[in-house]
Structure 1
Amino acid sequence: MKLKNIIAVLLLVASVQAFGQSNAGMQRMTNGVLYRIYTKNDNPKIKLNDVITFNFVQKTDKDSVLFSSFEAGRPAQIQVQESKNIADLMTVFPLLAATDSALIKVPTDSLFKGAEDQRPPFFPKGSYLSFVLKIEKVQSLEEAMAEQQKVMNEMKSQEAAALAKYAAGSSTKFTATNSGLRYAIARPSVKAKPMKGDTVLVNYIGRTLNGKLFDTSIEAEAKKAGLEQPGRNYEPISVVVGQGQVIPGWDEGLLLFNEGAKGSLLIPSDLAYGARGAGEDIAPFSPLLFDVEIVKVKRVKRAATPAKPATTVKKPVSKTPVKKPASTTVKKPTSTTKAPVKK
């Protein structure tokens, strides 16, 4: 956790502890939720459909931390809607404003009503799930969407620059396709390329542009990188090409390699995991680099294309008019054989 986040969470929790953890003096809502607002201000109260950004620490009655947005490294952001369950805090948010801090306690008896077999031991009967939170920002939906779009545009611009820099500095010479995919064939093959619908067996190594190996089908490479993949069978994976079983960059890229060929795919994020990213290693708008080997192509049976029937092409009749002789008087021929008309 960064130092400023450690300081922030300590100050937030300390402010709550200064008032004591007793439920005495806390306000009670009709659904049984308890709350205490510590830093009231004159900012407008949160409204339905507002988008709020807030940091929070989730705790048990014994101060055991279950989750911290500070530890996670990013605040929570949600749109305020009608409450759907007692733990969503939607009944409390309208009581708060930007920069407010509060302690909120949700009764666990309500959380596990009708599901006592799912109650963990650290939430005994009569206990509370506590939230210590601070509202960092309140926006209208339009403001939040505009801000998000601005951030996305900046990240896309940074991605484009990173891709161009990597391709220019790499010893591998990539060829770009119309979609933005870049590929390079290190070991060509004379065998046939797969077609859409064919099954391809592929060995691969997946890395981010900073060299972080996040996935591979090759055990030696996984061990060398210290990558743990419990239960993984290290063998070529089977992919039906063009069926959306893999990211779009693979669906397009695998069709460019002959059976037995090896090479690399440099894939922009819009052909990979886009704005959502994937896990801890692949951040939003991350381009990816894959080394691939097409081990085998299994052809799907295709119907034979019927031969087109042969067609007799008739010689076109000339439509060029025949020039008439200057005289309109036709002389009677002296012979029964017709002479050709001169054009």
Structure 2
Amino acid sequence: MRYLILYLLLKFIVFQTNAFAQTDIKPELKLNFYNDIKGPKGVEGDIISLHIQTFINEDSLFLSTYDALAPVDITLDKPKFEGSFMSFLYNLSKGDSASFIIPVDSYRVHNIPSIGDSGTNIKYIVQVYDINNPTDFKIKKESKIDKRFSDEMSILKKYFRKNKLKPQKTASGLHYIIHKKGNGARAQLTKKVRVHYSGKTLYGNEFDSSYKRDQPFGFILGLNMVIPGWEEALLLMSVGDKATVYIPSKLGYGLKGNGEAIPPNSILEFEIELLEIP
């Protein structure tokens, strides 16, 4: 934890180009700017992209979006009450880094669940990366996805050439190799399947394996219970098939990733065995 806090403080030194400023929003809430950019602030409906560190009683780190590597996107809604987390966000511009403190009891007075005990404070430290209206947000996101997809196709092409692999490719960018062909029924939408699998990032370590748990995984196809790449791959398989599947990030965990094990924009490689369709 102390390394996370040290890292955060170093980030603040880097971004602290303006004099430290303090603005009173409400008597119980102080907004402290580490970097105060004089730009347009968000309005209701805008999407603000930022990193958030949450501390209980100002010094005990409870949650950090830095652990997930990617900023979070929050739609600006009408604040539940003055001095709330949402009302604070309306005071920020792109490039700002700031902190603010909210008493836990401020939430409880308004019957809103919160972390921490009565009488304690919650401190938030944020760094704003961007603020966009919904249309611009969608355009920028799609542009990032398209650029990343093109890069990933090049990465996979080099990977296959280096490892002398000749997978089949679908229109979505999914690549797969059927190592063993079964003679069972074909997987179908709305049908339950049971599989064994292991997964890793393309150049990384294994992050999950049903084989090691000795526990097959069951789910219903078509209900978004798994990532899109899995849905597509299983629909290409029959009971008894064993395959290696290479999933581009847009069919996996995308720009956000999934914790430390799966960073943002990760190409995933899965070994999948379709055991049965119960």
**Same fold, TM exceeding 0.5?**
yes
Greater relative CO (CA pairs within 8 A, separation 6+)? 2
- Give the equivalent residue in structure 1 for 2:262: 282
1:27 is the counterpart of 2:24: yes
- Choose which of 77, 87, 90 in structure 1 pairs with 2:86: 90
Query: Structure 2: which 5+ residue stretches go unaligned?
Result: none
Residue identity matched to 1:210: Y
1:87–1:111 CA contact under 8 A, matched in 2? no
- 1:260-293, Cα deviation, whole Å (9 max, x unpaired): 4433222334444445544433344433222223
Residue identity matched to 2:168: T
1:192–1:258 CA contact under 8 A, matched in 2? yes
CA distance in 2, matches of 1:205, 1:276: 21
Deviation at 1:247, TM superposition (A): 4.1
2:184–2:240 CA contact under 8 A, matched in 1? no
Residue identity matched to 2:41: I
CA distance in 2, matches of 1:132, 1:90: 14
- 1:210-257, Cα deviation, whole Å (9 max, x unpaired): 1421221112xxxxxxxxxxxx5x233345556665444444434544
- Give the equivalent residue in structure 2 for 1:225: none
- Give the equivalent residue in structure 1 for 2:157: 164
- Give the equivalent residue in structure 2 for 1:129: 122
- Choose which of 246, 254, 271 in structure 2 pairs with 1:266: 246
- Choose which of 201, 210, 218 in structure 2 pairs with 1:217: 210
- 1:37-71, Cα deviation, whole Å (9 max, x unpaired): 55796824524245444555433445333344556
- Give the equivalent residue in structure 2 for 1:152: 145
- 1:82-121 equivalences in 2 (<5 Å): 82-85=78-81, 88-97=84-93, 102-113=98-109, 120=116
SS at match of 1:152: helix
Residue identity matched to 1:267: I
2:42–2:131 CA contact under 8 A, matched in 1? no
- Choose which of 176, 186, 191 in structure 2 pairs with 1:194: 186
2:103–2:122 CA contact under 8 A, matched in 1? yes
Between Structure 1 and Structure 2, how many residues are aligned?
Answer: 272
- Give the equivalent residue in structure 2 for 1:8: 11
1:86–1:110 CA contact under 8 A, matched in 2? no
Larger radius of gyration: 1
Residue identity matched to 1:108: V
Distance 1:110 1:281, change over 3 A: same
- Give the equivalent residue in structure 2 for 1:236: 216
Query: Structure 1: which 5+ residue stretches go unaligned?
Result: 20-24, 220-231, 299-343
- Give the equivalent residue in structure 2 for 1:310: none
1:5–1:70 CA contact under 8 A, matched in 2? no
Distance 1:259 1:91, change over 3 A: closer
2:192–2:221 CA contact under 8 A, matched in 1? yes
SS at match of 1:166: helix
- Give the equivalent residue in structure 2 for 1:304: none
1:202–1:236 CA contact under 8 A, matched in 2? yes
Report % sequence identity. 26
1:6–1:70 CA contact under 8 A, matched in 2? no
More displaced stretch, 178-187 vs 37-46: 37-46
- Choose which of 265, 271, 274 in structure 2 pairs with 1:291: 271
Residue identity matched to 1:27: D
- Choose which of 170, 178, 183 in structure 1 pairs with 2:176: 183
SS at match of 2:100: strand
SS at match of 1:151: helix
Distance 1:73 1:194, change over 3 A: closer
RMSD: 4.3
Deviation at 1:83, TM superposition (A): 0.7
CA distance in 2, matches of 1:237, 1:168: 32
- 1:10-89 equivalences in 2 (<5 Å): 27=24, 29=26, 32-38=27-33, 43-44=38-39, 46-49=41-44, 50-55=46-51, 57-61=53-57, 63-68=59-64, 73-85=69-81, 88-89=84-85
Q: Which structure: greater strand fraction?
A: 2
2:69–2:260 CA contact under 8 A, matched in 1? no
